[in-house]
């Protein structure tokens, strides 16, 4: 089907929430490339928004999924599920957390984590309702995760929101200390604010969150939906910032394209839920767990994360050099293969993103006026070189 015909159907029958989309429809993927219906090739620096971490030609993943489709995709959680149990074991053993729950998306996993924090305090006999999150954060689109999200533009049409959420400026320890008190159930934090513009959280601040939570009896929840599962070159970003949260939330890259979210808990937080407190029809089914088990094993048993670190450092250096070359580049941020390039207000990041697409590169924007790059982990330096060539031209215009 032609892209403009798909667009007509979309305009007529699909909810208008995505507005006018980029004028491309992909029909096939191969390695780190996407192909449109006219056979044009694009190099992928977005991975379907941090999802397709293994690119498009991982034969092992395809085989695992085909085998699962051919045997059994879903039974519901009334029964034991082997891959679910093994995936839980692998994730817990690799991260040091005690248990996990699987849902279907980032927002849903966040919801579960927020419920778990409330239940933790309830079970202690001292219920606490409040949550402290960061200004500029993004935690999802459901009512609770919308309220957790520290960006006004998402809130206004949906008020009144859940009242429990306070937003504090990132990397401001004094503001954090002033906001967290005896009614705070948890502090929720992304190690790097993704949708907010690839804003890095300092190790000092991250550790202060841990300390303040311990002092005031609140839990620390890391939203690693975007940073987690290898984007920074580590399975989780939290340990490299020097603090271990009580609950960590995953999704996006976890299933490499198959929808799955998760929250992991440790210590007393892992014991807070009892039978009946939470659940899911689809969550943790055979298909989703087959994908996530494959991804987790791949990240842990091969050197792919080493490759993420190495190509990520190379990429960031090239972006930093671009900053010296092009005055419109204001800042280079991020770690591993989660990088952002803040542009001067005079140059539109969405405009550059569109032009990049015209040049055969898929990228995204985030935050105030930043380009955001989240390529599949199998990206090579030569792909980065090609992108840089296109970027230099566009930013010198
Ligand atoms: C994408 C994202 C979410 C929401 O995930 P969905 O799967 O879209 O519900 C939550 N938190 C962070 C940090 C994200 O990047």
> Which residues lie across from 352 on neighbouring strands?
none
The residue whose CA has the least distance to atom 11 of ligand 1 is 139
Mutate to test the pocket of ligand 1, among 49, 106, 154 (most ligand atoms within 8 A of CB): 106
Asked whether the beta carbons of 307 and 377 are under 8 A apart, the reply is yes
Which ligand 1 atom lies nearest to the CA of residue 142?
9
Q: What is the mean pLDDT of residues 300-326?
A: 97
> Which residues lie across from 370 on neighbouring strands?
342, 366
Q: Is 372 in the pocket of ligand 1 (CB under 6 A)?
A: no
Please name which of 147, 212, 190 lies closest in space to residue 335, comparing C-alpha atoms. Answer: 190
Asked whether the beta carbons of 231 and 250 are under 8 A apart, the reply is no
**Mean of per-residue pLDDT scores for the chain:** 97
Asked whether the beta carbons of 165 and 147 are under 8 A apart, the reply is yes
Q: If residue 34 lies in a helix (H) or strand (E), which one and from where to where? A: strand 33-36
For residue 162, the 8-state DSSP code is P
Q: What is the mean pLDDT of residues 248-277?
A: 98
Q: What is the pLDDT of residue 68?
A: 98
**Predicted confidence (pLDDT) per residue in 83-132, tens digit:** 999 999 999 999 999 999 999 999 999 999 999 999 999 999 999 999 99
Q: What percent of the chain has pLDDT over 70?
A: 100
Asked whether the beta carbons of 116 and 273 are under 8 A apart, the reply is yes
Mutate to test the pocket of ligand 1, among 51, 188, 252 (most ligand atoms within 8 A of CB): 252
- What is the 3 state secondary structure string of 85-100? HHHHHHHHHHHCCCEE
Asked whether the beta carbons of 373 and 315 are under 8 A apart, the reply is yes
Q: Is 87 in the pocket of ligand 1 (CB under 6 A)?
A: no
Q: What is the mean pLDDT of residues 366-380?
A: 97
Q: What is the pLDDT of residue 322?
A: 94
Q: What is the pLDDT of residue 37?
A: 87
- Ligand 1 centroid to Cα of residue 66, in Å, is 27
Q: Is 190 in the pocket of ligand 1 (CB under 6 A)?
A: yes
C-alpha span between 170 and 269 (Å, rounded): 25
149 — pLDDT class (breaks 50, 70, 90): very high
**Predicted confidence (pLDDT) per residue in 211-255, tens digit:** 999 999 999 999 999 999 999 999 999 999 999 999 999 999 999
Residue 41 has pLDDT above 80, yes or no: yes
C-alpha span between 199 and 192 (Å, rounded): 5
C-alpha span between 173 and 122 (Å, rounded): 28
396 — pLDDT class (breaks 50, 70, 90): confident
C-alpha span between 299 and 253 (Å, rounded): 11
Residue 397 has pLDDT above 80, yes or no: no
Residue 279 has pLDDT above 80, yes or no: yes
Which ligand 1 atom lies nearest to the CA of residue 226?
15
Query: Residue ranges of the alpha helices (H) in 105-231?
Result: 106-123, 143-148, 152-155, 173-179, 203-216
Q: What is the pLDDT of residue 183?
A: 98
């Amino acid at each position: 089907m032609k892209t403009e015909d798909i667009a007509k159907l979309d305009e007529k029958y699909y909810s208008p929430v995505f507005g006018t989309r980029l004028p491309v429809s992909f029909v096939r993927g191969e390695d780190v490339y996407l192909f449109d219906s006219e056979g044009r090739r694009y190099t992928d620096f977005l991975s379907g928004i941090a999802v397709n971490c293994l690119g498009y030609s991982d034969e092992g993943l395809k085989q695992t999924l085909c085998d699962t489709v051919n045997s059994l995709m879903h039974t519901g959680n009334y029964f034991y599920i082997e891959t679910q149990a093994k995936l839980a074991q692998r994730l817990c053993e690799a991260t040091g957390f005690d248990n996990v729950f699987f849902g279907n998306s980032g927002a849903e996993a966040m919801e579960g984590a927020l419920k778990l924090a409330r239940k933790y305090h309830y079970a202690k006999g001292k219920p606490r309702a409040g949550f402290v999150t960061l200004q500029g954060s993004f935690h999802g689109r459901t009512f609770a995760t919308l309220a957790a999200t520290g960006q006004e533009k998402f809130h206004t049409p949906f008020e009144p929101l859940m009242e429990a959420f306070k937003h504090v400026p990132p990397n401001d320890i004094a503001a954090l200390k002033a906001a967290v008190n005896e009614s705070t159930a948890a502090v929720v934090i992304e190690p790097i604010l993704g949708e907010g513009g690839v804003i890095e959280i300092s190790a000092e601040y991250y550790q202060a969150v841990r300390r303040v939570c311990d002092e005031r009896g609140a839990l620390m929840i890391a939203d690693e939906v975007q940073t987690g599962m290898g984007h920074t070159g580590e399975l989780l970003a939290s340990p490299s910032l020097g603090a271990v949260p009580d609950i960590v939330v995953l999704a996006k890259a976890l299933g490499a394209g198959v929808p799955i979210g998760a929250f992991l808990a440790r210590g007393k937080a892992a014991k807070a839920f009892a039978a009946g407190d939470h659940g899911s029809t689809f969550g943790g089914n055979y298909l989703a767990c087959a994908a996530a088990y494959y991804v987790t094993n791949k990240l842990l048993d091969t050197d792919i994360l080493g490759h993420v670190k190495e190509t990520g450092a190379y990429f960031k250096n090239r972006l930093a050099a671009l900053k010296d070359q092009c005055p419109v580049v204001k800042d280079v941020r991020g770690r591993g293969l989660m990088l952002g390039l803040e542009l001067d207000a005079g140059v539109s990041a969405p405009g550059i993103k569109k032009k990049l697409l015209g040049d055969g590169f898929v990228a995204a924007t985030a935050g105030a006026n930043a380009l955001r790059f989240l390529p599949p982990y199998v990206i090579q330096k030569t792909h980065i070189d090609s992108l840089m060539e296109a970027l230099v031209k566009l930013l010198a215009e």
